[in-house]
Amino acid sequence: MADNFHNKPFDEATKLKLEIFGECFREWLPVFIFNPTISKIFIYDFFAGSGQDSVGYPGSPLILLHEAKGENCSVCKSLNGKEIIFAFNDKNKSLELETSVKEYLRETNAAIKFLSCEPLISDLENINLHKINWVIVGGESGPNARPIKEDWVINIYQQCKHADIPFFFKQWGGVNKKKNGKKLKGEIFQEMPEIIENWI
């Protein structure tokens, strides 16, 4: 696919292909949702482009998210505890893709919109927390765990505090995550949104 494919409006042939793509996914998704032997549904799109064309017409990743949500969240309500896990990627459009997906998710009517910054393997600098209800941060664990720096965690914590958003620090991780613990500056930060606290 040409690098500039998403830098202009989709032509009618591309729109037709995307429409067929969405219809096929809409028909097949319930087959997996209502299969009692399946607990997690993994959906991969590794040629996702920027998520939409130059005038905002949705590409494959936004179509997948829209169909998985369903009208009035009808599909989400039928999951019965099952998880749908999406993985989107594009070699040349990763930043544009991330922006498109995040903006789409911000506009959904989900009860809780959260960022899961785990494993945290770099400084995220300034985060767009608009319409976000919760932020979870954690280090990678396991024999090949990549390092996490305290400054990265504190940066996210301070942004959450400034925006009055609950901050949940899961763990430092590492090869021995139990030994490393989950204290940040001597304190445990495991804040939750009010709606979750009411469920517990």
pLDDT in tens, 4-37: 556 789 999 999 999 999 999 999 998 998 898 9
What number of H helices and E strands is found in the chain? 7, 7
Give φ, ψ of 87 to 5 degrees. -135, 115
Q: Is 192 left (phi over 0), alpha (psi -120 to 50) or beta?
A: beta
Domain range annotation of the chain: 1-110, 111-200
- How many other C-beta atoms are found inside a 10 Å radius of the C-beta of residue 51? 27
pLDDT in tens, 57-96: 999 999 999 998 877 667 777 777 788 888 888 767 777 8
Nearest to 58 by CA among 10, 3, 102: 10
